[in-house]
Amino acid sequence: MSDIPDNSPTSSAVLRMESVRKTFGDTVVLRDVDLEVAPHTVTALIGASGSGKSTLLRCANLLEEIDDGAIWLDGEEITHPRTDQDAVRRRIGVVFQAYNLFPHMTVLENITLAPRRVHGVDRAEAERYARELLERLGLGAKAGEYPDRLSGGQQQRAAIVRALAVRPRLLLLDEITAALDPELVGEVLAVVRDLKGEGMTMVLATHEMGFARDVADQVCFLEGGVVLERGTAEQVFGDPQQERTRQFLRRIVEAGRL
Amino acid sequence: MTAVKEESGQEDPGDMPDRGGEGYVPSQRRIDRERYKRTRARRATSIAALSTLVTGVVLYLVVVSAPGWPRTRETFFNGQYAREAFPKVLEGLWLNVRLLLICGAAVLVLGMLIAVARTLRGPVFFPLRALAAAYTDFFRGLPLIINLMIVVLGVPALRLQGITVDPVLLGGTALTLTYSAYVAEVFRAGIESVHPSQRAAARSLGLTNRQALRHVVLPQAVRRQVPPLLNDLVSLQKDTGLVSIGGAVDAVRAADIIVGRSLNYTPYIVAGLVFVALTIPMTRFTDWVTARMDRQRAQGGTL
């Protein structure tokens, strides 16, 4: 490593964003956002609802087209108009707040759909790996069930398995516990903690501050579409520099959530 | 990916539609990206134009070089007969249009009633449910032409007092009977396609089954049923011509009369084109309505 800051897109970051701007009509949702996610690290995006956390994740997965700036995945620019977007999405796993499981398929079919149809894995191998993951996340008995018959926590774990089944390079988690009751939150967060232990690179938008503090290597506080403060968990939670960050954290503490 | 926000032609930063930023200046990267997209859009347009032209020319040559073309042109594309048939066909078309409007409205109302009757819960409604099911089973199965003959020719034969013998009214009734059965099934499929959680949410707000149906389920169901409903309406529009079996003169019958006299088939072509011309605006209109509904609902998303 030289001591010149590495600004080129060939840095070792899994995901890199530079000056990303996103608008919906006249509303600026993301403004000049920079982000760098190193391999095997966890980045937590915190901030109030509407601060742009979810939009940032959706932009990283190309579900939203950015207006300005650029995004690199493994050093390759993915926001160029010539980019094969499907190929990019094949390398990124996403878990949504509302699970978004396909209701007309069993859990096993949900999980094996992409490995079989997109990645060309044969049925036996896809199902073997799916069952292995389900077993590990405590859903071994639910493979043949339809999503509507599972509890929220089970559905969300099934959704995580579906995202993992394609062995993604990067996992994006969009407030995955927001729709769960506290008892079920624990079981889902335990899964994320395990994944960190295995070295999965993750970016997560979350309202679970305690969890963010525990698991995140990097914390970004978003406010009005801007990354107002970033640093290690100790820095952002222990010694926030910005007044807005302090306010936000104080309110979280008052609400008994930290 | 669709270019949702295709920028207007200029490169001038002041013309960018992005008005949200205080002193935001588009980067060179954005300008390049947009120029590239415009170039690609232009190329796509010219490729589309070229391939359309080639397809058209090839089709034309294939038809014109066919051995029977001169004779076919004389019997199917005769300008003189076309001019003669056109006003007569239009005159007949007025009957088709009136039948379509009246029967279409009746079919939508009756079809909806039958569909709702079939989804009513509770043992009290069993006779209603059974009746509605029997109705759809019977009229979907009965060939329209046989239904028409029974109603248009059979009913006047009864010589009942106070019952019309007008073939148009009777024909319209027969059309409504058959198409209501089709449309009822379309509506029922739509009602059942709304996720049960929607009904659960409505009922848990204290809405009655009927209110839930009226305010939550049906609006979502009808939105999804617009394309298949249109399909049935277009089909109805063409079948309005069948009332001519009772002696009424519609567009097809008007063409038929000229063909019978001249032995030239051009009037059929004219009538056919007139029907096509009538459906195209209808299809475009419903496409526009559904697209507008989608836009109002969805925020962003480029997939």
Note the pLDDT tens digit of each residue in A171-183. 999 998 887 888 7
Q: Which are the contacts of B48, defined by CB distance < 8 A and separation ≥ 6?
A: none
Residues of A in Cβ contact (< 8 Å) with B27? 19, 68-69
Q: What's the confidence (pLDDT) of residue B227?
A: 82
Average pLDDT (A77-92) is 90
* Chain A with chain B: Cβ pairs closer than 8 A: 48
Please name the member of A26, A69, A85 whose beta carbon is closest to the beta carbon of B1.
A85
Among B42, B24, B39, B294, residue whose Cα is nearest residue A67: B24
B303 touches chain A (CB under 8 A): yes
pLDDT at A233 over 60: yes
| Opening angle at CA B299, ends B296 and B301, nearest 5 | 125
Domain coordinates in residue numbering, chain B: 13-64, 78-297
Q: Residues of chain B with pLDDT > 90: what percent?
A: 38
Are B19 and A63 within 8 A, CB to CB?
Answer: no
Residues of B in Cβ contact (< 8 Å) with A24? 299-300
The β-bridge relationship of strands A76-77 and A92-95 is unpaired
Distance of alpha carbon A17 from alpha carbon A11, whole angstroms: 12
Please name the member of B20, B26, B303 whose beta carbon is closest to the beta carbon of A26.
B20
Which residue do the tokens 């029907």 mark?
Answer: B275
Give the model's confidence band at B147: pLDDT under 50 very low, under 70 low, under 90 confident, else very high: very high
pLDDT at B22 over 70: no
Q: What's the confidence (pLDDT) of residue B13?
A: 44
Residues of B in Cβ contact (< 8 Å) with A68? 26-27, 29-30
B5 touches chain A (CB under 8 A): yes
B42 touches chain A (CB under 8 A): no
**Closest CA of chain A from B205, distance in Å:** 20
SS3 content of chain A, % helix, strand, coil (to 5): 40, 25, 40
Q: What's the confidence (pLDDT) of residue B7?
A: 41
Find, in chain A, the residue whose alpha carbon is nearest to that of B18. A26
Note the pLDDT tens digit of each residue in B264-273. 899 999 999 9
pLDDT at A64 over 60: yes
Give the model's confidence band at B281: pLDDT under 50 very low, under 70 low, under 90 confident, else very high: confident
Within 216-275 of B, beta carbons closer than 8 Å to A belong to none
Two tokens, residue A14? 């899994």
Two tokens, residue B216? 């939550």
Q: What's the confidence (pLDDT) of residue B5?
A: 42
Q: What's the confidence (pLDDT) of residue A77?
A: 93
Are B300 and A24 within 8 A, CB to CB?
Answer: yes
Burial class (CB in 10 A: 0-12, 13-18, 19+), B207: middle
Distance of alpha carbon A233 from alpha carbon A237, whole angstroms: 6
Average pLDDT (A201-223) is 92
pLDDT at A253 over 90: no
Note the pLDDT tens digit of each residue in A2-31. 444 444 545 689 999 999 999 988 889 999
Q: Residues of chain B with pLDDT > 70: what percent?
A: 90
Average pLDDT (B149-161) is 86
Are A26 and B301 within 8 A, CB to CB?
Answer: no
Within 178-207 of B, beta carbons closer than 8 Å to A belong to 195
Chain A residues within 8 angstroms (CB to CB) of chain B: 19, 21, 23-24, 26-28, 31, 58, 62-65, 67-70, 79-82, 85, 103
Best A32, A58, A65, A86 residue to mutate vs chain B (most B CBs within 10 Å): A65
Distance of alpha carbon B64 from alpha carbon B60, whole angstroms: 6
Domains and CATH numbers, chain A: 11-91+170-258 (3.40.50.300), 102-168 (no CATH)
Are B33 and A80 within 8 A, CB to CB?
Answer: yes
Two tokens, residue A10? 């060939």
Distance of alpha carbon B302 from alpha carbon A188, whole angstroms: 29
Q: Which are the contacts of B291, defined by CB distance < 8 A and separation ≥ 6?
A: none
Please name the member of B27, B37, B301 whose beta carbon is closest to the beta carbon of A19.
B27
Note the pLDDT tens digit of each residue in B158-203. 888 877 878 889 999 999 999 999 999 999 999 988 888 888 888 8
pLDDT at A155 over 70: yes
Are B29 and A70 within 8 A, CB to CB?
Answer: yes
The β-bridge relationship of strands A170-174 and A202-205 is parallel
Are B302 and A65 within 8 A, CB to CB?
Answer: yes
Reduced to 3 states, what is the DSSP secondary structure of residue A86?
helix
Higher pLDDT, residue B122 or B9: B122
The CATH class given to the B78-297 domain equals mainly alpha
Which letter, b or e, does each residue of A71-104 get, where b requires 16 or more Cβ atoms within 10 Å of its Cβ?
bbbbeeebbeeebebeebbebbbbbbbebebeee
Q: What's the confidence (pLDDT) of residue B3?
A: 42
Q: What's the confidence (pLDDT) of residue B180?
A: 95
Average pLDDT (B224-253) is 86
Among B236, B243, B210, residue whose Cα is nearest residue B108: B236
Among A116, A117, A120, A111, residue whose Cα is nearest residue A150: A111
**Closest CA of chain A from B40, distance in Å:** 10
DSSP tag of B123: G
pLDDT at B9 over 80: no
pLDDT at B107 over 70: yes
The pTM score is 0.72
pLDDT at B61 over 80: yes
